[in-house]
């Protein structure tokens, strides 16, 4: 709910320049890097259930505290702390899906998890836009409260596994469980995913500010437009995945997804005769690309793991998103100020075409 409106919160509510908004979002990414590494390591040590509970509850408390502050440097420090705990949740959740999924259903299981996530995204961004239109701090209070509630629900309803990952690790011969940084192909895959996610994040960090400043769309409507992403995924992704899973290689579907995402930025360069319609068309292209790419990226990552190293591989993948949060928004805001938004969208389009070519090359190697 709150993070997509972070740049608007800084510029519209606190009246800070866009560069400060970029710094806040960059710091959110920096804290995410530390959180991803710590979350992956702790998942292999104490189990995914404990990591999810602690990160959700502690992160939620700090989010509520964030709503009470206006001092910029304190907000910067708190952003690091919040993002650390928020991102520590992700590798643990990633490992949980792989553990609970029945054999042969991994891609569909990740899609089901994404269905839940995107239902929350659709509802959260839509309601967030409404809340932001009359009370920005309330965004963080509600977001933090829901995070705490999620931690409580995990404690009550998510069953603990009988063997912790550290016990399983002792039973697996160490050479059969390589470290992710020893997997050269996986490292190349992560570099391409980092490029993709860097461009991916701009849709939810920089584009909302573009809608507001250039196209003069209000916050409520921005929230509803972003919410279309979650609604489409909730309605169609599971059906689509069930039809195409195991029919082509994961890399093929990832390439298709990257090309659709590149098209979403191309749409933003159309003449702004009807800005809302163009914004909706762009988010539709983006969402189709996301539905193709992300579930099969998850499948590819988990296909290279064992129980002993699942947390570390999940952390490596999560790290791509964290690095993208550092690079993407700050670079996006800078390039937009320097060259204008049209040139920014063109550069992103060309980067994504290069990314698709990289995945194609990787597919040939496989």
The model's pLDDT over 76-113, given as tens digits with 9 standing for 90+, comes to: 999 899 989 988 998 888 888 878 888 777 778 877 88
Q: 340 — alpha (psi -120 to 50), left (phi > 0) or beta?
A: left
Neighbour-count burial of 70, counting CB atoms closer than 10 A to its CB (0-12 exposed, 13-18 middle, 19+ buried): exposed
pLDDT at 45 over 90: no
Q: How far is Cα 96 from Cα 164, in angstroms, rounded to an integer?
A: 12
**168: Cβ contacts below 8 Å, ≥ 6 apart:** 307, 308
CATH fold, domain 3-158+199-361, is: Growth Hormone; Chain: A; (1.20.1250)
Q: Where are the alpha helices (DSSP H) in 101-218?
A: 106-132, 136-157, 165-171, 184-205, 207-213
**251: Cβ contacts below 8 Å, ≥ 6 apart:** 296, 300, 359, 360, 362, 363, 366
pLDDT at 167 over 70: no
If you search the block for the tokens 């937009």, which residue do you land on? 336
pLDDT in tens, 236-283: 888 888 888 878 889 999 999 999 999 999 999 998 788 999 999 999
Of the ranges 29-33, 50-54, 159-163, the best mean pLDDT one = 50-54
Q: How far is Cα 149 from Cα 329, in angstroms, rounded to an integer?
A: 29
Of the ranges 160-174, 234-248, 290-304, 345-359, the best mean pLDDT one = 345-359
Give the percent of the chain with pLDDT over 90. 33
Model confidence at 51, pLDDT cuts 50, 70, 90, reads very high
Q: Residue 320: which H helix or E strand, with range?
A: helix 310-339
pLDDT for position 365: 82
pLDDT for position 196: 95
**9: Cβ contacts below 8 Å, ≥ 6 apart:** 2, 132, 136, 139
If you search the block for the tokens 């949980």, which residue do you land on? 96
Q: How far is Cα 72 from Cα 16, in angstroms, rounded to an integer?
A: 9
If you search the block for the tokens 């959260």, which residue do you land on? 124
Q: Please answer whether residues 106 and 295 qualify as being in contact, where contact means their C-beta atoms are separated by less than 8 angstroms.
A: no
**344: Cβ contacts below 8 Å, ≥ 6 apart:** 202, 206, 332, 335, 336
Q: Which two tokens stand for residue 75?
A: 């907000």
Instruction: Please compute, for residue 4, the number of CA atoms within 13 A of its CA located in the half-sphere on the CB side.
Output: 29
Q: Which two tokens stand for residue 4?
A: 């997509």
Q: How far is Cα 2 from Cα 224, in angstroms, rounded to an integer?
A: 14
Of the candidate ranges 168-172, 227-231, 361-365, the one whose mean pLDDT is the lowest: 168-172
């Amino acid at each position: 709910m709150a993070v997509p409106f972070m740049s608007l919160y800084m510029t519209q509510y606190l009246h800070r320049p866009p560069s400060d908004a970029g710094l806040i979002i960059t710091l959110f990414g920096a804290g995410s890097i530390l959180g991803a590494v710590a979350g992956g390591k702790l998942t292999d040590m104490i189990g995914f259930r404990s990591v999810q509970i602690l990160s959700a509850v502690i992160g939620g408390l700090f989010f509520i505290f964030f709503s009470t502050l206006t001092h910029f440097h304190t907000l910067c420090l708190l952003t690091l702390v919040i993002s650390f705990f928020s991102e520590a949740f992700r590798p643990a959740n990633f490992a949980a899906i792989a553990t609970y999924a029945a054999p042969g259903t991994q891609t569909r299981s990740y899609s089901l998890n994404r269905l839940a996530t995107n239902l929350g995204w659709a509802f959260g961004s839509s309601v967030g836009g409404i809340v932001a239109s009359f009370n920005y701090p309330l965004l963080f209070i509600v977001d933090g409260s829901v995070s705490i509630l999620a931690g409580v629900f995990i404690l009550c309803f998510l069953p603990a596994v009988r063997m912790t990952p550290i016990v399983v690790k002792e039973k697996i011969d160490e050479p059969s469980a390589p470290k992710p940084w020893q997997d050269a192909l996986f490292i190349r895959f992560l570099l391409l995913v980092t490029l993709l996610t860097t461009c991916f994040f701009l849709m939810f960090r920089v584009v909302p500010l573009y809608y507001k400043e250039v196209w003069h769309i209000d916050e409520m409507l921005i929230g509803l437009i972003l919410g279309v992403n979650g609604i489409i995924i909730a309605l169609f992704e599971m059906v689509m995945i069930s039809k195409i899973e195991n029919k082509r290689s994961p890399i093929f579907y990832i390439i298709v997804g990257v090309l659709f995402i590149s098209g979403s930025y191309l749409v933003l360069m159309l003449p702004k005769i009807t800005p809302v319609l163009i914004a909706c068309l762009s988010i539709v292209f983006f969402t189709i690309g996301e539905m193709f790419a992300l579930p099969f990226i998850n499948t590819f990552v988990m296909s290279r793991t064992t129980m002993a190293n699942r947390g570390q591989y999940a952390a490596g993948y999560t790290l791509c998103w964290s690095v993208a949060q550092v690079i993407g928004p700050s670079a996006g805001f800078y390039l937009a100020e320097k060259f204008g938004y049209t040139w920014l969208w063109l550069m992103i389009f060309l980067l994504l075409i290069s990314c698709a070519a990289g995945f194609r090359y990787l597919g040939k190697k496989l």
